Amino acid sequence: MAVDNALSSPLGPPACEKDAKALQFIEEMTRNTDSVQEDVLAKILTQNAEVEYLKRFDLDGATDRESFKSKIPMIRYEDLQPEIQRIANGDRSSILSTHPISEFLTSSGTSAGERKLMPTIKQELDRRQLLYSLLMPVMNLYVPGLDKGKGLYFLFVKSETRTPGGLFARPVLTSYYKSDHFKTRPYDPYNVYTSPNEAILCADSFQSMYTQMLCGLLERQQVLRVGAVFASGLLRAIRFLQLHWRELSDDIESGMLNQEITDPSVKDCMVKILKPDPELAEFVRMECSKENWEGIVTRIWPNTKYLDVIVTGAMAQYIPTLDYYSGGLPLACTMYASSECYFGLNLNPMCKPSEVCYTIMPNMAYFEFLPHEPAGFTHDSTPKLVDLADVELGKEYELVITTFAGLYRYRVGDILRVTGFHYSAPQFHFVRRKNVLLSIDSDKTDEAELQKAVENASQLLREFNTSVVEYTSYADTKTIPGHYVIYWELLVKDSANSPRDKVLNQCCLAMEECLNSVYRQGRVADHSIGPLEIRVVKNGTFEELMDYAISRGASINQYKVPRCVNFNPIMELLDSRVVSKHFSPALPYWTPERRR
């Protein structure tokens, strides 16, 4: 029942008093964006006044914006790598932060093929938890009654390792799920999951997915929302159900857990949950054995009100498939976050995916914005960064952050467009990750990496006097999991000695071996990416591609072969010229350990 009192929010009537306080906090932050930002920067610089990094630039304890902007340079990850490596190797002096670095959060972005290490401090968990606490109060404004049921969320921990100095290095969500903030979270009727903690925290991805799906089926009538972090993750869960519904049905019918589930804590937990239910087992068999899986989400979980998944950026490619399996349920994008920092939330989470915009919460960090249009980059001057409150409607910017944990004027690499304002807080549409060419899940492959992988694989063609004339690529998300497709046009100088299928299959694997560790982890450990495919096209195909581009207005003098394609007519042209298809025959090498 909505609370109608002095705490009522302009965003809408809150569902309860706790929600009212959360909505009031959002109002306070967004009404006073610039003063909050000024205060945040002063707190960061006061807290870290004695750190080695800031002393290097003679900040001399200054906490004002003018001194900070005039003395501290804008940086990329590579600029900070020596300091990060010292901390990773065990140097505990105040290099970046006065508070001790508690662990490293591994970014899905990579540097030299390895995940970037983002320093964090224990206090950041409180900041992240604060943002999480704002999500449901906003959602409750749009979807009533979420306290009357549960959320079926497919959440997973990923592999972690320790640096030479003994600090954990792991993804931000793995850090969160393993923290007391998550494991001992207080009961909240608006935020109850079907998945027990034991299943979420199980490191074996098969056992974790199996148990979470089983629990979701057992409580199918209670489920009011279905979600995962990324759209690709939810589609993998649906694919998992397609592959394993028979075993899941058997477990439900007998009340006995599949013997492949060996994790002791998961087994102990499921003993209390799993009871024989032949009627439910028969229902699951009946629905899943049908050839047509359109609308399967609402057929299995009939009370589902929306899907909670990220479908912005590279994830937008999964929207049609999600619509198919869900029967067109609303897709809710609730928050904007990364390993470097949690940024903000969507104040209209039930909007269309194409209209998603995030309101950056000014208390999370100090935010600056690098104008993205070419005019922002002149060779003879440093580009001028814009404060959060000063961005302009319709313009695009690259996000630059200064955090409590020791990142100072750090370029995140996200390109954002200003779409509006909530009071004085700007709202941003996520345009893209800078320089990313291909992405299926959390992997991000840029043009330089792809070029290197093609060069590496083409070495195998030398003994056949064959070379790669041209290539392009696309991320095929019609398969689950999705996979990279690389189109090759080959120059075969001796047709009697042309490379056979086996060699071209090995070329696929050679490319995979050359891609970054996030891609290889997705292939080997997370099973979130399928085998790479090379499609060999007829000679002259890329000339046809150029002719097509010129016919549409491209300049013949400036035309360059696109290294990634997603325009249907071009893909149809390429596919109509394919003479052979080849897939990686094995998994590439991957280990959780970082290269030293």
In sequence order, what E strands does 477-553 have?
Answer: 483-492, 533-537
Residue 259 zone, left/alpha/beta (φ > 0; ψ -120 to 50; rest): alpha
Cα separation of 535 and 581, whole Å?
5
pLDDT less than 70: residues of the chain:
1-9, 110-112, 373-382, 554-558, 594-596
Tokens 């490619």, residue located: 317
Distance CA 350, CA 117 (A): 34
Angular region, 413: left φ>0, alpha ψ -120 to 50, beta rest: left
3-state SS class at 410: strand
One-letter amino acid for residue 301 of the chain = W
- Residue 313 DSSP class: G
* Pair type for strands 483-492 and 358-360: unpaired
CB atoms within 10 A of CB 329: 19
Kindly state the tokens that stand for 537: 């096209």
The whole-model pTM stands at: 0.83
**Structure token digits, residue 52:** 């080695």
- Alpha carbon distance 37, 258 (integer Å): 53
What's the confidence (pLDDT) of residue 135? 93
Q: How far apart are CA 390 and CA 452, in angstroms?
A: 40
246 closest CA partner among 198, 212, 213, 204: 213
The interaxial angle of helices 17-31 and 123-142, nearest 10 deg, is 110
Contact indicator for 191, 182 with CB cutoff of 8 Å = no
**Digit-coded pLDDT (tens) for 289-321:** 999 999 999 999 999 999 999 988 878 888 888
CB 532 within 8 A of CB 511: yes
Cα 390 to its chain centre, rounded Å, is 28
pLDDT given at position 554: 67
Contact partners, residue 231, CB within 8 Å, separation at least 6 = 309, 310, 311, 315, 318, 319, 322, 331
Q: Environment class of residue 54 by beta-carbon count within 10 Å: exposed (0-12), middle (13-18) or buried (19+)?
A: buried
- Looking at residue 488, its pLDDT comes to 95
Tokens of 412: 């995140």
Specify the amino acid at residue 472: T
What are the strands, taking DSSP E only, across 57-149?
103-111, 114-120
Q: Rounded to whole angstroms, how far apart are CA atoms 71 and 148?
A: 54
End-to-end CA distance of the chain: 57
**pLDDT at position 375, please?**
39
pLDDT, position 5: 44
How is residue 187 written in tokens?
A: 């009961």
Tell whether the torsion through CA atoms of 28, 133, 335 and 179 is positive or negative.
positive
The shares of helix, strand and coil residues in the chain, as percent rounded to the nearest 5, are 40, 20, 40
d(CA 157, CA 286): 32
Apex 126 CA angle, 122 and 131, nearest 5: 140
Q: Is residue 140 within a helix (H) or strand (E), and if so which, with residue range?
A: helix 123-142
Q: What gap in Å lies between CA 136 and CA 308, rounded to an integer?
A: 12
SS (H, E, C) 208-241: HHHHHHHHHHHCCCCEEEEEEEEHHHHHHHHHHH
C-alpha torsion 539→542→546→549, nearest 10: 120
Upstream peptide bond of 371 is cis (omega within 30 degrees of 0):
no
Give dist(CA 436, CA 115) in Å, integer. 15
Helices (H), 154-295: 172-177, 180-183, 197-200, 205-218, 231-254, 264-273, 278-288
| pLDDT value of residue 2 | 47
Longest CA pairwise span in the chain (Å): 84
3-state secondary structure of 460: helix
